[in-house]
Amino acid sequence: MRYYSTNRQSEFTTLQDAVVRGLAPDRGLYMPERIATIPKAFFNHIGEMSLTDIAYVVANTLFGEDIDSETLKTIVNDTLNFEIPLVKVDDRRYSLELFHGPTLAFKDVGARFMARLLGHFNAADSEGDVNVLVATSGDTGSAVANGFLNVPGVKVFVLYPKDKVSKIQEAQFTTLGSNITAIEVDGTFDDCQALVKSAFMDKELNEKMKLTSANSINVARFIPQMFYYFHAYAQLIRMGEKTDNVVVAVPSGNFGNICAGLIGKRMGLPIKRFIAANNRNDVFYEYLLTGKYNPRKSVATIANAMDVGDPSNFARILDLYGNSHDAIAAEISGCTYDDDLIRATLKETYDRTGYLLDPHGAVAYRALTEYLAPGETGIFLETAHPAKFKETVEAITGEPVNVPDRLAAFMKGKKETVKMSAQFPAFKKYLMSL
């Protein structure tokens, strides 16, 4: 399988090169040359299959030409050594709980898969260490740091905006040491992302060190996220629920998560439509309404992992639909909620059903309460454990949030960071000095 850049100004390349590069030379994002359709026989039996069996079929459909089957099975099995249950919240609305992995966030799936895939490629390459640069607004940093922790031949640099992630999130990537370095940037997530992209485009820096990214701009990070969409569909079948009109609401920030789901749909997954649920950072919602994309500085909210004003994966969505606004709007609707509505949704749902949402899941759940039509079955992605936003959630519900043991363990570590301005020359100087 060859991979091309969404900017169409770079040559086609291999999976290995796309993964190691992260970003194409023309600053575009890599996409697979073709998206194969999975045979209908697979969907006839999907309800009888395990998460890892489903994931292997999906992974093999995309990556099978580039990775031998036994290696791919090992990568899938090692990645998905935890449950991803679908939980009924109320009538026709289900939570896909993506917080049962090591860092209690959905990004464990993509980060762990990428770490293992990059380790596989790097083992066959004798050109020295790979340096992974990752910008985070919260959960990406912890998932990537823990996914790559102690992986031989890989060094990870996590860039995060100062004072704009929760204390628990921060502890998950600033206390690890080893091959993980946390860089505290005096700016926003968009500033962190800009530093990463600028590093990839700097010729002198790339001649000195091998760089790649573990943000969802990397094909090995975002594509594996489609595994759990197929798994959610399988669980609906096992529950005996209707599956002919499935709607999925996705809390959307950098749009890697929903983009993976859209590719899954293109491969044959019977999802009727998607809802891109936004907080106040509503650049995509504005695009759906106007057909114009106007990126801008992100706004801080209580759903901080979605605080993105210029989502990178918007380029992939445009590419997937041939730059057609009509085609995009036909399969994706949007909504936007401020902090007060997020708080109200979280509290009302908890009081009425006993189900505790995190702020991101609350955005997606509210989208289903407002936009799920009669006869449709709704799934929303619950992307992180509520304990990762303990103070916020407790202030909303008035009830204590139980912190899982593996999350509490991070809080006992010593924070170590490198403080950095949001200007690229300072970041480049730091990397060049290593």
User: Which residues are known to be catalytic?
Assistant: 107
Structure tokens at 224: 């594996």
The strand pair at 30-32 and 271-278 is best described as unpaired
SS3 380: strand
The candidate with the shortest Cα–Cα distance to 220, out of 295, 134, 127, 314, is 134
- H/E element holding 342? helix 339-353
Structure tokens at 380: 């929303």
Q: Report the C-alpha gap between 238 and 245 in whole angstroms.
A: 16
- Per 3-state DSSP, what percentage of the chain is helix, strand, and coil (rounded to 5)? 45, 15, 35
- H/E element holding 317? helix 314-320
- Terminal CA-CA length for the chain: 35
Q: Report the C-alpha gap between 237 and 157 in whole angstroms.
A: 41
DSSP letters, 253-313, are: SSSHHHHHHHHHHHTT--EEEEEEEESS--HHHHHHHHS----------SSGGG--SS-TT
- Amino acid occupying residue 341: L
